[in-house]
């Protein structure tokens, strides 16, 4: 390719292709950088700021410090981390254990179990029956209602089964001949071999649970238990500024109320993205590979 001569027309074509993609990059990233710039500007200067700028006007961490010291936000951070961590651990363990059994060709009842799982993918009776199941189990208003939502995800289960099936049969048989029982084979052989796949579905679960807001919104009445996404929704989407600014401050125009609302909202949105950005290099590495190989294998 590098050796083939390029005509001027081809150069122009190439320039158009690259600039189209770079425009796409700008459209994707600019709105986020704009919010970052607003949240880092001196709050007094925010009202006049354009939506196009990506450079802060002055530099101030006031917005971020107000947000991080706010009890609702702090609780939201704690709740989000707690719910995400617990549900991810439960999800990965439950999925791996179930996938191990389902990946063994001779397992009695294997087909029936597959159907049991597939039915849940194509038929979802809706949120009201889900709500009543949680109510019946006494889970409403408890962290568990959110933690257990899609705790074992059927899609991730299938991905892991496919991966376990790729493990050479000879390895498993050799271990069994050595007298290892299924628990030992799973722990000492399958899990170490499946590390990349486990990392991938861990990230799937992590992102899924961190971003989940709807179930938390309908199951958790108690604001003390709200994850960050629900706090964000109340403040930015529902426009309930009292939640962040505080009722006293809002009516007396004191404290956080003096800070520009637009800047507070910008900061709050970014705060919710921080963990995703923190693991984004890992996401790129594992998600991309997982999706590529899945598509290739079909």
Partner 1 sequence: MTNREEAMISPKFGNVPKSSARRRLGRLALAADGWRRWWPYYVMMAPGILFFLVFHYLPIWEARIAFEQVRIVPPNIWVGIKHFQVLFSSPVFWQVLANTLIISAMKMVFFLPVPIIVALLLNEVRGGSLRKFIQSAIYLPHFLSWVVIAGIFIAALSPTDGAVNNLMGMAGMAPRSFMTDTGAIRWVLVFTEIWRSAGWDSLLYLAAIIAIDQQLYDAAEIDGANRWQKIRHVTLPGIVPTIATLFILNAGMFLNADLNQVINLSNDVVRSKIDIVDTYVYRIGLQTGEYSLATAAGLFKAVLGTMMIVIAHFVSKRLTGKGVW
Tokens 């109510």 appear where? 135
> Residue 128 interacts with partner 1 (CB under 8 A)?
yes
100, 114, 216, 254, 297 from 155: Cα distances, Å = 15, 12, 22, 50, 16
> Which C-beta is closer to partner 1: that of 124 or that of 251?
124
Are the C-beta atoms of 151 and 96 separated by less than 8 Å? no
Q: How far is CA 267 from CA 199, 246, 261, 292, in A?
A: 30, 17, 10, 34
Nearer to partner 1, 10 or 224 (CB): 10
**Contact criterion met (CB below 8 Å) for 84 and 63:** no
CB of 252 to partner 1, least distance (A): 26
Neighbouring CB atoms inside 10 A of 274's CB total 10
First to last CA, the chain: 30
Q: Is 182 in the site for partner 1 (CB under 8 A)?
A: yes
Instruction: Enter the tokens of residue 40.
Output: 């880092």
Q: Which of residues 52-111 bind partner 1 (CB under 8 A)?
A: 52, 93-95, 97-98, 100-102, 104, 106-108
Nearer to partner 1, 93 or 171 (CB): 93
When binding is defined by CB under 8 A, the residue of 211, 251, 254, 258 that contacts partner 1 is 211
Q: Does 50 bind partner 1 (CB under 8 A)?
A: yes
Cβ 224 to partner 1 shortest distance, Å: 19
Decide: is 177 part of the binding site for partner 1 (CB under 8 A): no
Residues 6+ apart with CB under 8 A from 245: 255, 256, 257, 261, 264
Interface of this chain with partner 1, residues 16 to 35, rule: CB under 8 A: 17-18, 20-22, 24-25, 27-32, 34-35
Residue from the set 37, 40, 49, 83 that interacts with partner 1 by CB under 8 A? 49
The answer to the question of residue 221 lying near partner 1 (CB under 8 A) is no
Q: How many CB atoms lie within 10 A of CB 12?
A: 10
Residue 13, interface with partner 1 (CB under 8 A)? yes
Segment contacting partner 1 by CB under 8 A, of 59-67, 70-78, 132-140, 163-171: 132-140
CB of 119 or CB of 171, closer to partner 1: 119
């Amino acid at each position: 390719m590098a050796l083939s001569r390029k005509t001027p027309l081809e150069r122009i074509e190439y320039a158009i292709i690259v600039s189209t993609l770079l425009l796409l990059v700008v459209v994707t990233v600019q709105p986020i950088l704009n919010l970052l710039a607003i949240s880092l500007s001196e709050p007094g200067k925010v009202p006049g700021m354009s939506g196009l700028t990506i450079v802060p006007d002055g530099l101030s961490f006031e917005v971020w410090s107000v947000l991080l010291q706010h009890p609702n936000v702090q609780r939201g951070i704690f709740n989000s981390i707690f719910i995400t961590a617990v549900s991810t651990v439960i999800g990965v363990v439950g999925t791996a254990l179930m996938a191990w059994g389902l990946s063994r060709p001779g397992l009695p009842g294997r087909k029936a179990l597959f159907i049991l799982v597939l039915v849940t993918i194509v038929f979802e009776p809706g949120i009201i029956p889900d709500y009543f199941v949680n109510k019946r189990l006494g889970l409403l208003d408890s962290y568990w209602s959110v933690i257990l939502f899609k705790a074992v995800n059927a899609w991730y289960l299938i991905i892991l089964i496919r991966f376990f099936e790729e493990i050479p049969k000879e390895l498993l048989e050799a271990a069994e001949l050595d007298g290892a029982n299924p628990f030992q084979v799973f722990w000492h052989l399958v899990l170490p071999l499946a590390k990349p796949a486990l990392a991938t579905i861990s990230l799937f679960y992590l992102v899924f649970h961190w971003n989940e807001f709807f179930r938390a919104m309908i199951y958790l009445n108690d604001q003390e238990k709200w994850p960050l996404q629900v706090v964000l929704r109340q403040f930015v989407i529902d426009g309930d500024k009292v939640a962040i600014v505080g009722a006293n401050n809002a009516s007396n125009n004191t404290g956080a109320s003096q800070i520009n609302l637009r800047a507070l909202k910008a900061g709050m949105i970014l705060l919710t993205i921080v963990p995703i950005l923190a693991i984004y290099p890992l996401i790129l590495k594992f998600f991309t590979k997982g999706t590529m190989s899945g598509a290739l294998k079909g």
